[in-house]
């Protein structure tokens, strides 16, 4: 009888350990890399508020499984243990979010509010802010920049 309890206990412990922790993406396009490094090839991106399963952790990097079954590595800064309710798009928006857990609620300051702000401020122009949004350095450019400049490998598992 006692043994049976022990076996049950061990089985429950194993089940809990095997269940990966769920985290959510807290950036617009969370980068899933093939290796725990920003120079690891991009596997996919996961949108704001979407859940991923954390399988293991190595320094600042989490090995994750996405909702559509892809595996890779995400940096800690792209993820949160809080639930997120996204404003637009994201299928995970508001799913399962409730009460006090909604620390990262998505309504509030958004595109509509920005539009009203813009309308009320003569001379405030967002065209350069929008242009800045598109000034993205690609992984290949960064890799070249790091290599040619004699810099250290960025964002490895520290």
Partner 1 sequence: MTRGLMTLAGGCSLAVALLPTGCSTVAQIGTLAGQTAGVITAEQAESINRTAAAVEKTYQDITPEQEYYIGRSVAATVLASYAPYDEASLNAYLNVLGQTLALYSDKPETFGGYRFLVMATDEVNAFAAPGGLILVSRGLLRCCRSEDALAAVLAHEIGHVQSQHGLKAIKTGRFTSAGMTLVMEAGKNLAGQEMAEVVKVFEGSVTDVASTLMNSGYARALENEADAAAVRILGRAGYRPEALVEVLDVMKARLASDARGFGKTHPTPESRIQHVRGLLGSRAAPAAPPVRQQRFEAAIALAK
Of 62-101, binders to partner 1 (CB under 8 A) are: 62, 75-78, 80-82, 84-87, 94, 97-100
CA distance 31 to 78: 8
Question: Which residue, 38, 32, 40, 111, is CA-closest to 79?
Answer: 32
User: Does 41 sit near partner 1 (CB under 8 A)?
Assistant: no
The nearest distance, CB 90 to partner 1, in angstroms, is: 10
Element (H, E) at 51: strand 51-58
User: Does 42 sit near partner 1 (CB under 8 A)?
Assistant: no
The nearest distance, CB 1 to partner 1, in angstroms, is: 34
The nearest distance, CB 70 to partner 1, in angstroms, is: 18
Q: Which of residues 114-143 bind partner 1 (CB under 8 A)?
A: 114, 116-118, 120-121, 123-126, 128-129, 132-133, 135-137, 141-142
Question: Which residue, 32, 121, 24, is CA-closest to 69?
Answer: 32
SS3 72: strand
């Amino acid at each position: 009888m006692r043994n049976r309890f022990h076996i049950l206990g061990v089985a429950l412990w194993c089940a809990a350990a095997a269940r990966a922790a769920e985290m959510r993406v807290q950036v617009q396009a969370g980068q899933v890399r093939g290796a725990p490094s920003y120079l690891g090839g991009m596997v996919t991106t996961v949108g704001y508020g979407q859940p991923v399963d954390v399988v293991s952790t190595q320094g600042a990097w989490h090995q994750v499984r996405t909702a559509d079954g892809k595996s890779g590595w995400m940096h800690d800064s792209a993820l949160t243990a809080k639930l997120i309710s996204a404003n637009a798009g994201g299928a995970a928006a508001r799913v399962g979010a409730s009460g006090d857990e909604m620390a990262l609620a998505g309504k509030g300051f958004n595109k509509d509010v920005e539009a009203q702000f813009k309308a009320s401020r003569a001379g405030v122009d967002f065209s350069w802010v929008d242009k800045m949004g598109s000034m993205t350095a690609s992984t290949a450019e960064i890799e070249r920049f790091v290599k040619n400049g004699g810099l250290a490998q960025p964002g490895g598992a520290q």
